[in-house]
Amino acid sequence: MTQIRVTVDGVEYADDVEPRMLLVYYLRERLGKTGTVVGCDTSNCGACTVHLNGQSVKSCSVLAVQADGAEVTTIEGIARDGQLHPVQQAFHDNHALQCGYCTPGMIMQAIDLLGDNPDPDEQEIREGLEGNLCRCTGYHNIVRAVQDAARRMKPGASADTPAPAAVAGGGQ
């Protein structure tokens, strides 16, 4: 066993872990962060995406011991004061989910994408999310949601301002 100290969603934890334990299992089984989904265990689907020291990573490809001393943010840790994160709200408002299995990873990757590029075009969004797979939506509403979130997150923008019809429209 190896002792680690890690801050997850603003709370510090100290635990003994098996050196081979994956971060995704540490988050789910030890800390109860079940919003971090196990999809493939091969880093192909992106469902387990979390932020490690502010950068998105697929937690099925990171050992828990590699997170020692780090700050991890999960899907459970991005809402503030009872308010959804703008990307979460945009996914909801734009119907950017169906079964919801990929949604936590998509949202975490989208937040990282928007941190690097606050005004991506459609192609940049598609490329920025290419490591996250969705089998249900066809990605159209996911792209719309990221565009909407980018608009909401611009300085001076109001999260309550309705999205333009082209962004808020239905259909996939």
* Domain housing 12: 2-77
**What CA–CA distances, in Å, run from 28 to 6, 21, 31, 35, 158?**
14, 11, 6, 8, 34
* Whole-number Å distance between alpha carbons of 142 and 91: 7
| Residue 88 near residue 79, CB atoms below 8 Å | yes
Number of domains in the chain: 2
Domain C-terminal end among 21, 48, 77: 77
Instruction: Show which of 43, 59, 77 is a domain's final residue.
Output: 77
Q: Check which CATH number belongs to the domain holding 114 and give it.
A: 1.10.150.120
Q: 3-class SS at 134?
A: coil
pLDDT higher than 80, residue 162? no
74/85 Cα distance (integer angstroms): 12
* pLDDT digits 0-9 by tens, 109-138: 999 999 999 999 999 999 999 999 998 877
pLDDT of residue 80: 94
